[in-house]
């Protein structure tokens, strides 16, 4: 097991989640607190200008002036509507070199993340807010209150019903507001196992050498389409497997893991 010295850049105590996972793979990790919120927030107070992987890469590079570590680690998450109305949490943990633009990415996802949301209208009474928000505080989760127009900064880290009621009032009773899960990692326990899984995926990928250049980081990239039609054998758009890619030399290999035929309904010839 090769030791890797790296700095984790975080503003929300992710060292407690990512650190033990990478340490178990031989990484020596220091933690740097940097204002990663400047790159986007779950509340929407600060828009995220880039995709999640690029945002995580930019977070990691915020630590370059704070240490001489050769590698930097950061993470980013996205919570969206998933299957059957469940929230889908996708987490990315990345490692980037001090010099150069390459990035090694670990990823994990879950439908078990908390996803409380309550719309609060201008006329919603305090007692109704109080009655409904307790469910969002279960399991040690915190809540955040925000205005839809973002004319006032959101009020987060709300740990009690009383905190939520006061925060909603402070945002202006004449405005439309929303109370939702505060998805910052240190305030959202159900995100943390997914972040840990993404860190483990990063470690596995790091330990996988590219068959061409020999550097670690070889692993799954985009989907590989082409499952055959069960009727005529024509390749379809259905996933056949994944492309495995190297972040350093751009080597790409097709890895087939699901060659079974698909229904003719998905075939561009049988069902044009």
- pLDDT means per 10 residues, the chain with 272 residues, are 88 96 96 96 93 96 95 96 83 94 94 94 92 96 94 96 96 91 97 98 96 95 94 95 94 94 95 88
Query: Are 10 and 90 found together in one domain?
Result: yes
Does a structural domain hold residue 249? yes
Give pLDDT, residue 8. Answer: 98
Give pLDDT, residue 128. Answer: 94
Does a structural domain hold residue 232? yes
- State the residue for tokens 């990063």: 202
Buried b (16+ CB within 10 A) or exposed e, 155-177: bbebeebebbbebbeebeeeeeb
Query: Are 123 and 153 found together in one domain?
Result: yes
Query: Are 19 and 141 found together in one domain?
Result: no
Query: Are 255 and 152 found together in one domain?
Result: no
Number of domains in the chain: 3
Return the SS3 of 236.
Answer: coil
Query: Are 32 and 142 found together in one domain?
Result: no
Rounded to whole angstroms, how far apart are CA atoms 60 and 5? Answer: 14
Give pLDDT, residue 3. Answer: 80
Rounded to whole angstroms, how far apart are CA atoms 213 and 15? Answer: 31
Query: Are 67 and 145 found together in one domain?
Result: no
Give pLDDT, residue 174. Answer: 86
Measured over the CA atoms of residue 220, residue 223, residue 224 and residue 227, the dihedral's sign is: positive
Does a structural domain hold residue 272? no
Query: Are 9 and 84 found together in one domain?
Result: yes
Query: Are 73 and 177 found together in one domain?
Result: no
Max Cα–Cα distance, the chain, nearest Å: 64
Domain around 70: 4-110+189-207
Residue 133 DSSP label: H
Query: Are 42 and 149 found together in one domain?
Result: no
Rounded to whole angstroms, how far apart are CA atoms 246 and 19? Answer: 25
Return the SS3 of 92.
Answer: strand
Q: Say what the pTM is.
A: 0.91
Give pLDDT, residue 2. Answer: 65
Query: Are 28 and 91 found together in one domain?
Result: yes
Query: Are 81 and 201 found together in one domain?
Result: yes
Give pLDDT, residue 95. Answer: 97
Query: Are 168 and 98 found together in one domain?
Result: no
């Amino acid at each position: 097991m090769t030791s890797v010295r790296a700095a984790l850049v975080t503003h929300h105590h992710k060292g407690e989640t990512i650190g033990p996972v990478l340490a178990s793979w031989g990484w020596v990790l220091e933690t740097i607190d940097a204002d990663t919120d400047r790159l986007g927030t779950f509340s929407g107070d600060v828009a995220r200008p880039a995709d999640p992987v690029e945002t995580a890469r930019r977070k990691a590079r915020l630590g370059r002036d704070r240490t001489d570590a050769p590698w930097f680690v950061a993470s980013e998450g996205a919570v969206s509507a998933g299957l059957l109305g469940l929230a889908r949490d996708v987490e990315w943990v990345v490692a980037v070199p001090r010099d150069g633009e390459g990035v090694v990415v670990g990823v994990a996802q879950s439908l078990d993340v908390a996803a409380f949301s309550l719309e609060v209208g201008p006329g919603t009474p305090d007692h109704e807010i109080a009655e409904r928000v307790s469910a969002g505080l279960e399991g040690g989760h915190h809540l955040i209150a925000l205005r839809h127009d973002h004319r006032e900064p959101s009020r987060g880290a709300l740990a009690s019903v009383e905190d939520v009621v006061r925060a909603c009032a402070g945002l202006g009773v004449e405005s439309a507001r929303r109370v939702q899960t505060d998805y910052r990692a240190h305030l959202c326990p159900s995100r943390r196992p997914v972040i840990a899984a993404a860190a483990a995926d990063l470690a596995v990928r790091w330990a996988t050498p590219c068959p061409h250049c020999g550097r670690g980081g070889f692993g799954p990239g985009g989907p590989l389409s082409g499952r055959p039609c069960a009727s005529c054998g024509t390749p379809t758009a259905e996933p056949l497997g994944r492309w495995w890619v190297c972040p350093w030399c751009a080597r790409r290999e097709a890895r087939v893991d699901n060659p079974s035929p698909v229904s003719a309904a998905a075939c561009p010839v049988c069902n044009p």
